[in-house]
Structure 1
Amino acid sequence: MQLETATIDIGTSRPLVLLHAADADELGAHPLDRVRIEWAEGTTTGIVKRTDELVEHGTVGLTEPLHHVRGPVAVTLAGSPSSVGAIRKKLDDAELERTELERIVQDIHENRLSDVELSAYVSAVYANGLSLEETTHLTTAMSEIGQQLTWETPVVADKHSIGGVAGNCVTPIMVAIVAAAGVTMPKTSSRAVTSPAGTADVMEVFCDVEHSIDEIESIVAETNACLVWGGGVDLSPVDDEIIRAENPLSIDPEGQLVASVLSKKRSAGSTHVVIDVPYGEGAKVESLAAARGLADDFKRVADHLGIDVCCAITHGADPIGRGVGPVLEARDVLAVLEGLEEAPESLRLKSIRLSELLLDHCGVDADVLDLLESGRALERFREIVAAQGGTPDVSYADLEPAAESTAVRADRSGIVTRVDNRALCDLARRAGAPLDGRAGLVVHPSAGDEIDVGDPLCTIHAQTTAKLEEAASLADRLEPIRVRSKTDALVERR
């Protein structure tokens, strides 16, 4: 079928082909079918979307990934990518071969899979898991697509947390400390997947996090470090597409998690990595045994890739820090670096301990406490912010959360027996984080604290009244901070 092209912008990154219903009927094309498009300069494929209004009869509408296609084109039906069969195989809980995983990765990279097929892949991995061999093949395939960073120094430090702990904004503090100690740490981070703020979301409060390879190299040459969004430099780009599919489902399956983290580390040129694996009730990993198993998987796959990984299995049942959400977590970061009374002690201690572990892993003897308390880490952080186009002298007081707020208060006196990470993350997301950077919440008590009736448990911040009311309603149903009488608390501990 011969058709004229028209560019269409409907806010999608998928290569959609919009066909008028009459043209689709003549071609025999149904929604989500694939079509082959031939034009003067080449051939490509797209995914069908039928419409009666967006394009005229005789015209094919092409979304942004296909905007390079111009002029008259020949449109014919095309078969499904071979990786669809592999995805179906994984849905049946069969183990995939290396070549099958490579085809899936390649088809994701080349936008050959529809959103439904990509979601099916993510769901299959979530439901049936990946073997260690599958994870290794997947990580290798993902890391070999996209750009690669290389560094002259033999030791390139890195750190990653698997997430699941509210307010765990340790990374910016660690990068400042490690860089101040003289170790190269070009940190590429993700945006939030299931949390209210990823490291990139928090750093975006201070400065630009999207930089080219040349800009990153310049920033690192100037400051010994950077804190940028990995998706902005095409490092393991397939990972970003998979995360896009995971987001609506709020899932992060373990095998895919290992492949996601280590493919990014390999692409970033990291040689020595500390991976934070928090465990506990409400965290992504709830038992110590599961945390140790995941840590072993990280080490085994990393060994195959030639990356020296050390895993820190940490307490993850309670929040780290007080703020949950980009601006509120950014305030906690500055409070620790500036040595303020408002600094959450749990965040300060974890930042110190993980920095000591990473520096020791890199073979560097440094006084982490002195780097933090002397202000050298703060100075280095401000240098990084300036190099990334931010305002270096921003202070704790400058970072204001959303004005719409309400306090969730205790309805009884007693002892805080649990601070639920998962519920707090759900609340912050319902309030608008991370898309609304100033939305989120502040946690007031810690587990074990004594509480009186009416004491604030957490304060929710939102950009709009509607979102604030939604979050407050959810708080009533979830009981994010559990208070029990002293007698009941003793029984619960037993």
Structure 2
Amino acid sequence: MSNNTLQIRRIAIDTYHENVAYLHRDCGVYRAEGFQALSKIQISVNGSKVLAVLNVVDDTCIVLPGELGLSEQAFAQLDATEGSLVTVNHAEAPKSMDAVRRKINGERLSQDDFTHIANDIVDARYSKMEMAAFLVATGQNNLDRDELLYLTRAMLESGDQMDWHEALVADKHCIGGIPGNRTSMLVVPIVAAHGMLIPKTSSRAITSPAGTADTMEVLAEVNLTPEQLHDIVRQERGCLAWGGTARLAPVDDMLISVERPLGIDSQGQMVASILSKKLAAGSTHLLVDIPIGPTAKVRQMRQALALRKLFEFVGDRLNLHLEVMITDGRQPVGRGIGPTLEARDVMQVLQNDPDAPTDLRQKSLHLAGRIIEFDPDVRGGQGYAIARDILESGRALVKMNALIRAQGAKKADFNPGGLCQEVFSTREGFITSIDNFQMAKIARLAGAPMMKKAGVDLLKKLGDRVKKGDLLYRIHAEFPADFMFAQQLAERNNGYLIGDEAQILTSLVEL
């Protein structure tokens, strides 16, 4: 055995989009090579190479001095059997970090710079600290529109791209920031029932209490292989799946793994993330929903218009037919916030339940109608009526049930978490505003989206009249620690303002 050869040992630790290796402090290779904790190493076996961040341990229960431990992520990527002999060396620093440092200093980067950065990230040459440096350097509107185009193209080309061999492949995306805004789960079955192709691949929640994939997972499997995804879309004209398994713009998933814990969601990164994923999924026509409101991601009309121009600029240059709808983001959409509660709302709308949330239904119909108008056989202005007919006739429900069966149905249970705290009005008046950010934070502290049954169930919405002691909403959790944190936050600020009728926030948009 050579001086830098070790046996690999699988360490059952999920390091989430980061390769991590473990060496014992008394390991001869560790001492001889001068490795340091958090340095990057190259692991080689049978011509295959993997880069990993090194962690140094002192516990022989984790790894022995003659072994190299690999996290689940690194072990899967190396594709070798446990006990195999591997060679360990220092990893060469990613050359593209020079471009990141130049960006930190305020320089403008080229297409080649962004391409090299994206390739190095996908090849695991960046640690999470280095990815964080890149995100901070390009955040806070530090990208001009050409740089944003370069970044989007680099992210798009970092992985596989799907081709459905059809002239019209529709999709929609909301930029987020509005709890309960689960319109995709209604738009997809409506549009698919119309006959248009709409393969909806979604990310999991980054900073919200639920994403489309998290909510759909209550009803069906969302972790589909590319082959399964292709078969389902061909059969049903649509899907509602997690995009992570398809290797579509994988650099985006790796950056999201850093954005999530840091709470970073910059405008430029958001545009590049959305468009790279949609183009990689084979979309030719995209509808982007930009909600606007005082506690939404976009708070002023001028911001929304500027963001729309960015989307249109990049989309146009990447041959994507793109339209933007600026919508009402003054408050959460629907009643439920959190995967199970949002899935309940969606199914109530599809079932034409009289208790279904009206705002979720109406917004979904407007969005679906606009997408249906991408169809060259549909005249402008007819989309909404067609979408409404598909929903009211039950065809959307039939299509949703078909999608659920095709993806792998789960036994849906819409009962929320058993730990429940009711939050009451402290005065009489009208609901003048609801803080989207605060409600999302309460739901996340309650455990959403990881705990599917956790979240917030709203009983009162903007403009409702309340008396002192009226029930505003319920907090649901599955575990006492989560429940306590959510309770404490709601006690400090319950997210609702109650005042006179004249103080009710007015919308800047019709929808």
What is the TM-score of this pair, normalised by structure 2? 0.91
**Partner residue of 2:22?**
18
Please give the alpha-carbon distance, in whole angstroms, between the structure 1 residues aligned to 2:224 and 2:191. Answer: 21
> Offset at 1:251?
2.0
**Partner residue of 2:429?**
414
Deviation string 1:282-318 (CA, Å, 9 cap, x unpaired) is 1111111111111111111111111100000111121
Q: Which one of the candidate residues 8, 11, 15 is aligned to 1:6?
A: 8
**Partner residue of 2:466?**
451
Please give the alpha-carbon distance, in whole angstroms, between the structure 1 residues aligned to 2:190 and 2:43. Answer: 53
Q: Does 1:287 align with 2:300?
A: yes
Please give the alpha-carbon distance, in whole angstroms, between the structure 2 residues aligned to 1:291 and 1:214. Answer: 38
Deviation string 1:310-358 (CA, Å, 9 cap, x unpaired) is 0001111211111000010011111111111221111111011111111
Kindly provide the amino acid, as one letter, of the partner of residue 231 in structure 1.
G
CA 1:299–1:76 in 2, change beyond 3 Å: closer, same or farther? same
Equivalences for residues 185-200 of structure 1 within 5 A: 185-200=198-213
**Partner residue of 2:64?**
56
> Offset at 1:486?
5.7
**Partner residue of 2:406?**
387
**Partner residue of 2:485?**
470
Please give the alpha-carbon distance, in whole angstroms, between the structure 1 residues aligned to 2:277 and 2:103. Answer: 24
Please give the alpha-carbon distance, in whole angstroms, between the structure 2 residues aligned to 1:129 and 1:322. Answer: 37
Q: Does 1:270 align with 2:283?
A: yes
Question: Which has the larger displacement, 98-107 or 163-172?
Answer: 98-107
Please give the alpha-carbon distance, in whole angstroms, between the structure 2 residues aligned to 1:359 and 1:40. Answer: 52
Please give the alpha-carbon distance, in whole angstroms, between the structure 2 residues aligned to 1:376 and 1:326. Answer: 24
Q: Which one of the candidate residues 457, 460, 480 is aligned to 2:475?
A: 460
Q: Which one of the candidate residues 392, 410, 429 is aligned to 2:444?
A: 429
Q: Give 5+ residue unaligned stretches, structure 2.
A: none
> Offset at 1:56?
2.8
Q: Which one of the candidate residues 37, 40, 54 is aligned to 1:31?
A: 37
Deviation string 1:355-393 (CA, Å, 9 cap, x unpaired) is 11111133342522111111111111111111111169x
- For the residue of structure 2 that corresponds to 1:314, the secondary structure is strand
Please give the alpha-carbon distance, in whole angstroms, between the structure 2 residues aligned to 1:362 and 1:194. Answer: 34
Please give the alpha-carbon distance, in whole angstroms, between the structure 1 residues aligned to 2:114 and 2:40. Answer: 21
Please give the alpha-carbon distance, in whole angstroms, between the structure 2 residues aligned to 1:486 and 1:271. Answer: 45
What is the TM-score of this pair, normalised by structure 1? 0.94
CA 1:239–1:413 in 2, change beyond 3 Å: closer, same or farther? same
Please give the alpha-carbon distance, in whole angstroms, between the structure 2 residues aligned to 1:384 and 1:431. Answer: 30
> Offset at 1:128?
5.2
Please give the alpha-carbon distance, in whole angstroms, between the structure 2 residues aligned to 1:417 and 1:38. Answer: 62
Question: Which has the larger displacement, 88-97 or 308-317?
Answer: 88-97
Please give the alpha-carbon distance, in whole angstroms, between the structure 2 residues aligned to 1:351 and 1:152. Answer: 27
- For the residue of structure 1 that corresponds to 2:373, the secondary structure is helix
> Offset at 1:75?
3.1
Please give the alpha-carbon distance, in whole angstroms, between the structure 1 residues aligned to 2:506 and 2:218. Answer: 40
Please give the alpha-carbon distance, in whole angstroms, between the structure 2 residues aligned to 1:125 and 1:285. Answer: 19
Please give the alpha-carbon distance, in whole angstroms, between the structure 1 residues aligned to 2:231 and 2:95. Answer: 42
Deviation string 1:193-212 (CA, Å, 9 cap, x unpaired) is 11111001111111011112
Q: Does 1:341 align with 2:354?
A: yes
- For the residue of structure 2 that corresponds to 1:400, the secondary structure is coil
> Offset at 1:74?
4.0
Kindly provide the amino acid, as one letter, of the partner of residue 436 in structure 1.
M
Question: Which has the larger displacement, 84-93 or 159-168?
Answer: 84-93
Kindly provide the amino acid, as one letter, of the partner of residue 328 in structure 1.
L
Contact 1:190/1:198 (8 A) holds in 2: yes
Please give the alpha-carbon distance, in whole angstroms, between the structure 2 residues aligned to 1:294 and 1:363. Answer: 27
Q: Does 1:68 align with 2:79?
A: yes
> Offset at 1:252?
1.1
> Offset at 1:86?
2.1
Q: Which one of the candidate residues 348, 365, 371 is aligned to 2:390?
A: 371
| Root mean square deviation, CA, Å | 2.1
Q: Does 1:114 align with 2:127?
A: yes
> Offset at 1:42?
4.7
> Offset at 1:5?
2.1
> Offset at 1:483?
1.3
Q: Does 1:319 align with 2:332?
A: yes
- For the residue of structure 1 that corresponds to 2:53, the secondary structure is strand
Identity of aligned residues (%): 38
Contact 2:430/2:504 (8 A) holds in 1: no
> Offset at 1:43?
4.4
Q: Does 1:309 align with 2:334?
A: no
Contact 1:413/1:485 (8 A) holds in 2: no
CA 1:338–1:101 in 2, change beyond 3 Å: closer, same or farther? same
CA 1:71–1:466 in 2, change beyond 3 Å: closer, same or farther? closer
Contact 2:173/2:274 (8 A) holds in 1: yes
Please give the alpha-carbon distance, in whole angstroms, between the structure 2 residues aligned to 1:288 and 1:147. Answer: 36
CA 1:115–1:25 in 2, change beyond 3 Å: closer, same or farther? same
Kindly provide the amino acid, as one letter, of the partner of residue 167 in structure 2.
P
CA 1:153–1:469 in 2, change beyond 3 Å: closer, same or farther? same
**Partner residue of 2:270?**
257
Contact 2:8/2:86 (8 A) holds in 1: no
> Offset at 1:15?
2.3
> Offset at 1:221?
2.2
> Offset at 1:125?
2.3
Please give the alpha-carbon distance, in whole angstroms, between the structure 2 residues aligned to 1:5 and 1:91. Answer: 40
- For the residue of structure 2 that corresponds to 1:361, the secondary structure is coil
> Offset at 1:479?
3.1
**Partner residue of 2:95?**
82
Count of aligned pairs: 488
Deviation string 1:400-450 (CA, Å, 9 cap, x unpaired) is 111111111111111211111111110100000000001101112222221
Kindly provide the amino acid, as one letter, of the partner of residue 390 in structure 1.
A
CA 1:314–1:57 in 2, change beyond 3 Å: closer, same or farther? same
Please give the alpha-carbon distance, in whole angstroms, between the structure 2 residues aligned to 1:447 and 1:36. Answer: 56
**Partner residue of 1:47?**
53
> Offset at 1:270?
0.7
Contact 2:432/2:501 (8 A) holds in 1: no
Question: Which has the larger displacement, 348-357 or 208-217?
Answer: 208-217
CA 1:152–1:37 in 2, change beyond 3 Å: closer, same or farther? closer
